[in-house]
């Protein structure tokens, strides 16, 4: 089990201060991420995929009136997905023990600046999860949370879950809260935990040029 030392939410200044002061978590519908076109920052066409198959070179036959036709292929890539995926997610950046170098410094990928200008760092992890789970239970919501596992979409074959994403997103080091529901309108869900001032701090995102 990888130790999560700190969770960071990046976004617009007003949204980050709303989370800092009120504990507001804006949870987007999972389906929305399939449709976002932003150069693979938030959007992911594989979001909610159930299985991916990458097959080595081979062939198959198609029956016809004149006999079977053989089709050869160099590679077969199939993604099994439902037409619609349900549930809501809230995403954070996870700083783990593996991210800390010998100088006790964490280096961020410059691409994280695309998420916004400010960041809220949650420093008291046990208390945050106590607050989070108490509120979710109070709202009678079914949920799960954990680190996202990244896979190579060009070679991976096997089952996938809402905690899997293609490797091009690995720089985001995502920790995901997933809330289960069957809302076919894919509405956002807002959760308010109360002030996080005692367990977090806000910083402006300034990356080296």
Q: Are strands 118-122 and 200-204 parallel, antiparallel or unpaired?
A: antiparallel
Mean pLDDT over residues 75-80, rounded? Answer: 63
- Geometric angle at alpha carbon 13, from 24 and 209, rounded to 5°: 135
Q: Choose between 205 and 100: higher pLDDT.
A: 205
> pLDDT per residue over 155-175, tens digit each?
777 788 889 888 888 999 999
Pairwise CA distance, residues 174 & 163, whole Å = 9
At 110-154, the pLDDT tens digits run: 888 888 999 999 999 999 999 999 999 999 999 999 999 998 877
Quote the DSSP letter at residue 27.
E
More confident residue, 106 or 88: 88
Q: What is the pLDDT of residues 96-115, one digit of tens each?
A: 888 777 666 777 888 888 88
Of the candidates 173, 147, 141, 152, the one whose C-alpha atom is nearest the C-alpha of residue 162 is 147
Domain boundaries, the chain: 4-48+86-151+163-204
Q: Contacts from 108-112 at CB under 8 Å and sequence distance 24+?
A: 108/207, 109/171, 110/207, 110/208, 111/41, 111/171, 112/10, 112/171, 112/172, 112/205, 112/207
Would the pLDDT of 29 be above 80? yes
Instruction: Give the residue-averaged pLDDT of 83-105.
Output: 81
Instruction: Please provide the average confidence, as pLDDT, over all residues in the chain.
Output: 83
Per-residue pLDDT at 45: 66
Q: Which of the four pLDDT bands, split at 50, 70 and 90, describes residue 196? A: very high
What are the C-alpha distances in Å from 13 to residues 45, 126, 137? 28, 25, 29
CB 45 within 8 A of CB 132: no
Looking at residue 10, its pLDDT comes to: 94
- Is 89 within 8 Å of 164 (Cβ atoms)? no
- Whether the Cβ atoms of residue 116 and residue 15 lie closer than 8 Å to each other: yes
Question: Which H/E stretch holds residue 118?
Answer: strand 118-122
For residue 41, the model assigns a pLDDT of: 54
């Amino acid at each position: 089990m990888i130790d999560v030392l700190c969770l960071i939410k990046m976004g617009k200044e007003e949204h980050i201060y709303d989370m800092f002061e009120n504990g507001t978590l804006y949870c987007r519908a999972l389906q929305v991420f399939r449709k976002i076109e932003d150069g693979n920052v938030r959007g992911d066409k594989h979001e909610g995929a159930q299985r991916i198959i990458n097959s080595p070179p081979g062939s198959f036959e198609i029956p016809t009136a004149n006999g079977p036709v053989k089709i050869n292929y160099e590679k077969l890539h199939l993604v099994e997905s439902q037409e619609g995926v349900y549930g809501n997610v809230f995403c954070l950046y996870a700083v783990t023990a593996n991210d800390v170098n010998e100088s006790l410094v964490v280096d961020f990928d410059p691409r994280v600046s695309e998420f916004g200008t400010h960041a809220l760092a949650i420093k008291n992890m046990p208390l945050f999860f106590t607050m989070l789970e108490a509120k979710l239970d109070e709202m009678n919501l079914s949920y799960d949370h954990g680190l996202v596992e990244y896979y190579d979409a060009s070679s991976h074959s096997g089952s996938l879950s809402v905690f899997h994403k293609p490797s091009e997103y690995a720089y985001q080091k995502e920790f995901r809260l997933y809330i289960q529901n069957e809302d076919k309108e894919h509405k956002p869900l807002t959760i308010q935990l109360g002030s996080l001032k005692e367990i977090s701090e806000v910083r402006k995102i300034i990356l080296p040029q």
